[in-house]
Amino acid sequence: MIIARQALAPESIQALEKLGVPLIDIDLVDSSGTGKDLGCYAVNALVAPGVMVNSSKFFTPGVEEILGDMGIERFITPLTYFRYAGGSVHCLTNEIYGGCNPHG
């Protein structure tokens, strides 16, 4: 799980740690940023098994390498103007679950 630890309450971090899944920490630049410094929203991604689609590489040192070591195939598509509105790839997607076909 990729998290911007600085943006989360301590209780939220503790709850995530209890899940027992690896946590990959990112700087706020890879999230929404801070104050007047707009982030790149790299964390705002569409993720499926082995695949991640987002709008920017991660600037936090080591994150790109961790994702590569995990075998995650990356696709980056620039969405600059969505960034100014506070969103990115995940905000433009809907999840589709198998077995939910209303027509059959």
pLDDT tens for residues 52-102? 998 889 999 999 999 999 999 999 988 766 666 666 666 666 666 666 565
**Higher-scoring residue by pLDDT: 12, 100:** 12
Number of neighbouring beta carbons within 10 Å of residue 7: 14
Could you tell me if residue 46 is inside a domain? yes
- With respect to residue 102, please indicate whether it lies within any of the assigned structural domains: no
Q: Report CA-CA distances (Å) from 77 to 29, 38, 43, 93.
A: 18, 18, 13, 13
DSSP symbol at 75: E
Rounded percentage of the chain residues whose pLDDT exceeds 70: 76
DSSP 97: -
Q: What pTM was computed for the model?
A: 0.76
Domain count, the chain: 1
Domain of 57? 2-91
Q: Is residue 99 in some structural domain?
A: no
Judge whether 41 lies within some domain. yes
For position 83, what pLDDT does the model report? 63
Handedness of CA 79, 4, 96, 57 (dihedral sign): positive
